[in-house]
Amino acid sequence: MPFEELSIRKVTLRPAHILAPMAGITDTVFRRFIKRLGGCGLIMTEFVSSEGMLRRNLKSERFLYYTEEERPISAQIFGAEPAHLAEAARMIEDLGFDMVDLNLGCPAKKVVKCGGSGLLRDLPLLGRIFHGIRGAVKIPFTVKIRSGWSDEEIVAVEVAKLAEDSGVEAIAVHPRTRLQGFSGRARWELIREVKQSVGIPVIGNGDVHKPEDARALFDQTGCDAVMIGRAAPTNPWMFRQLADYFSAGHYTEPTDADRYRLIRTYYQMLAEEEIPGAIGKMKQFASWFTHGVRNGADLRRRVQSANHPREVITLVDDFFAGPVTSPPLAEFPAPL
């Protein structure tokens, strides 16, 4: 069965479905939320600056907060200074994370200036970074890359071989270039080329919007795991649907009652945890979580005008008023 299980040394992903690290999205509340819905075998933090970690930046420390419920969990770091990245990786290990991951995929200008996909243009430096991090930690070390800087600079296979030779234990490939950003199609054939070129596990990422896409990704590339990014905020059931599809051949679409429980539970978690900027998160997620909800635009407008998290929860309750009731968090689906 595709993506049933993957072991990266002593860390077992069961199933081999991975929540991609996403800035502004994959905080501890969202990660636990996804785990409780089921079907996700590994979650990752938002990427964290190695420089911020060394300065003991409060924002970086907040990004690295996690609970035991979230295991197995990997922390993703970015930067461009080998010694600083190695020290940041040591800090990650000391914090008890199961794995550490290096971001070589972010296309944002402010990240590219000091790491991210910008490092794909300097393979000698990248080699020093790989060796530095590998020598600094005992936990599994993985990387996430793009295919290259541009169509004229496709380096996925070269970077994957360098990573393997340096002791990196798995590589996630998003087969778009830095210049593409998130436009155009993901070139899955590049994932296949990487898989055929190295012996370490290869994780496929990009253009997987529904379980059938994950099946096609496996069939076309032979990759060892699937990483879900932008589909997760719009369809948090995606991981459970993947598990159902691969085990039973079918999956269910969420009902309005399911969507109500999902929205309210996530908002309730944000409110109870007193997450900084919770009201902003609620407004951000409103457009994603109401996708497919009848008259969802009306709810989005109401949420955007709210000033307090509890007000948002009341708006959600009023919008879905009727036979649907929201269960307490204790009754929310437990992780697989």
Report DSSP state, residue 118: G
Domains identified in the chain and CATH numbers: 6-248 (3.20.20.70), 256-331 (no CATH)
Q: Quick check: 103 and 48 in contact, CB under 8 A?
A: no
Q: Out of 40, 106, 114, 223, which one is annotated catalytic?
A: 106
Mean of per-residue pLDDT scores for the chain? 90
Q: Quick check: 214 and 188 in contact, CB under 8 A?
A: no
Residue with tokens 């969202």: 30
Q: Quick check: 89 and 136 in contact, CB under 8 A?
A: yes
Kindly report, residue by residue over 239-257, the tens digit of the pLDDT: 999 999 999 999 998 888 8
Residue 331 has pLDDT above 50, yes or no: no
User: Residue 169's CB: how many other CB atoms inside 10 A?
Assistant: 18
Residue 58 has pLDDT above 80, yes or no: no
Q: Quick check: 170 and 194 in contact, CB under 8 A?
A: no
CA distance 156 to 68: 34
Residue 334 has pLDDT above 60, yes or no: no
Residue 171 has pLDDT above 90, yes or no: yes
From 204, 217, 208, 282, select the one nearest 238 (Cα to Cα). Answer: 208
Query: Considering only 33-42, 107-116, 262-271, which range has the smallest mean pLDDT?
Result: 107-116
Residue 329 has pLDDT above 80, yes or no: no
Residue 151 has pLDDT above 70, yes or no: yes
Gyration radius of the chain over CA positions: 20
Q: Give the strand pairing for 202-205 and 225-228.
A: parallel
| Distance (Å) of CA 319 to CA 229, 236, 266, 298, 299 | 29, 20, 16, 9, 7
Percent of the chain at pLDDT above 70? 94
Query: Considering only 10-14, 54-58, 311-315, which range has the smallest mean pLDDT?
Result: 54-58
The verdict on whether 106 is a catalytic residue reads yes
Q: Where residue 197 falls among pLDDT bands split at 50, 70, 90?
A: very high
Residue 322 has pLDDT above 90, yes or no: no
Residue 100 has pLDDT above 90, yes or no: yes
Kindly report, residue by residue over 213-240, the tens digit of the pLDDT: 999 999 999 999 999 999 999 899 999 9
Tell me what pLDDT residue 257 has: 85
Residue 103 has pLDDT above 60, yes or no: yes
Q: Where residue 54 falls among pLDDT bands split at 50, 70, 90?
A: very high
Question: Between 235 and 330, whose confidence is greater?
Answer: 235
- SS3 state at 299: helix
Tell me what pLDDT residue 333 has: 44
